[in-house]
């Protein structure tokens, strides 16, 4: 008979071994040759291994990424989840009659990217996201993890940020995690200022999450950038990668790097149903 202590030790070792394997597989996905070279250069600002590990990513999860854009995180998440998990890419709603030409072009380019590398992307599930018309990013209560990277300020500009967080809550299983990375505003900055400069206060993100029913589960400093003074003529878009001022003070803004970003984790309560 195995003693309870020995059983607990064996169980712990199995958990540690599984976590180590998952981390190794994630590191391999980040180092994969199919990644776009320009994207790889931004790893030093975005810290994908540390960020995704903090959010608790595992290869057997159902993961939804909101507005994947050109597919920066898709290049990591889709291959990592391909064998044992599921990856939903909730793009902008290009199918809506009022979708802009830019939205249609961006989503078409993303779909072309997936089709061009089936070995990595053939199992990607596509959905659309734009409240109130498109809010089912995945079947209700099926996702283990919903991720959004630098999007909340865009939803604020369109006045549907609260509906966005409610959609994330609906998609997650009880106990599921919402991971948010966003440009961090100084405490006390107004909502109107955020709509103009792209920086959002941590308090506002938390209020949105609490309003949707989430509980706060922690923050990571992994994407902090103390060099970011957040007082630029073109807001956060003054910094790389956008560099909206082009050659004006380019070296100065390159030396600052990408923005100071909060990395926040929220959980849907298990009682949430």
- Decide if 152 contacts 263 (C-beta within 8 A): no
Task: State yes or no: pLDDT of 14 exceeds 50.
Answer: no
Enclosing domain of residue 79: 4-272
For residue 32, the model assigns a pLDDT of: 95
pTM of the complete model: 0.91
pLDDT at 9 over 90: no
As given in the structure block, the two tokens for residue 209 are 């999450």
What is the band of 272 on the pLDDT scale with cuts at 50, 70, 90?
Answer: very low
Q: CA 236 to CA 222: how far, in whole Å?
A: 19
pLDDT at 200 over 70: yes
- Asked if 253 and 240 touch (Cβ cutoff 8 Å), the reply is yes
3-state helix, strand, coil split of the chain in percent (to 5) is 45, 20, 35
Contact 145, 86 (CB under 8 A): no
Res 72: pLDDT: 98
> What is the pLDDT, as a whole number, of residue 20?
54
On whether the CB atoms of residues 51 and 181 are closer than 8 A, the answer is yes
| Secondary structure class of 84 (helix, strand, coil) | coil
Contact 81, 63 (CB under 8 A): yes
Given a contact cutoff of 8 angstroms between Cβ atoms, the answer to whether 60 and 18 are in contact is: no
Q: What is the pLDDT of residues 232-260, one digit of tens each?
A: 999 999 999 999 999 999 999 999 999 99
Closest CA relative to residue 35, chosen from 90, 80, 74 = 74
Residue 271: per-residue pLDDT: 78
160: phi then psi, degrees, rounded to nearest 5: -130, 30
Mean residue pLDDT of the chain comes to: 93
Q: What CATH number should be reported for the domain holding residue 254?
A: 3.40.50.150
Phi, psi torsion values for 150, nearest 5 degrees: 55, 50
Q: How far is CA 60 from the centre of its chain?
A: 18
Number of domains in the chain: 1
- φ and ψ of 211, to 5 deg: -65, -30
The pLDDT value given to residue 24: 86
| Distance between CA atoms of residues 72 and 46, nearest Å | 10
Q: Write the pLDDT tens digit of every residue in 40-50.
A: 999 999 999 99
């Amino acid at each position: 008979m195995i003693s309870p202590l020995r059983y607990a030790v064996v169980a712990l070792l199995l958990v540690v071994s599984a976590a180590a394997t998952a981390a190794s597989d994630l590191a391999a996905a980040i180092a994969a040759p199919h990644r776009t070279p320009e994207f790889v250069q931004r790893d030093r600002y975005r810290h994908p291994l540390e960020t995704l590990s903090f959010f608790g990513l595992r290869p057997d999860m159902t993961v939804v990424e909101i507005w994947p854009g050109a597919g920066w995180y898709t290049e990591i998440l889709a291959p990592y989840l391909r064998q044992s998990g599921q990856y939903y890419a909730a793009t902008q709603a290009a199918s809506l009659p009022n979708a802009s030409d830019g939205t249609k072009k961006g989503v078409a380019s993303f779909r072309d990217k997936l089709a061009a590398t089936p070995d990595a992307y053939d199992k990607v599930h596509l959905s659309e996201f734009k409240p109130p018309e498109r809010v089912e990013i995945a079947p209700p209560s099926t996702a283990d993890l919903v991720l959004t990277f630098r999007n909340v300020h865009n939803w604020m500009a369109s006045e549907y940020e609260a509906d966005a967080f409610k959609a994330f809550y609906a998609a997650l299983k009880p106990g599921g995690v919402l991971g948010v990375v966003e440009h961090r505003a100084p405490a006390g900055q107004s909502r109107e200022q955020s709509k103009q400069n792209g920086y959002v206060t941590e308090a506002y993100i938390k209020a949105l999450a609490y309003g949707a029913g989430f509980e706060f589960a922690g923050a990571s400093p992994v994407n902090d950038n103390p060099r970011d003074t957040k007082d630029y003529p073109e807001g956060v878009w003054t910094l790389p990668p956008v560099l909206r001022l082009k050659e004006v003070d380019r070296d100065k803004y390159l030396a600052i790097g990408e923005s100071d970003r909060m990395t926040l984790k929220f959980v849907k309560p298990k009682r949430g149903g």
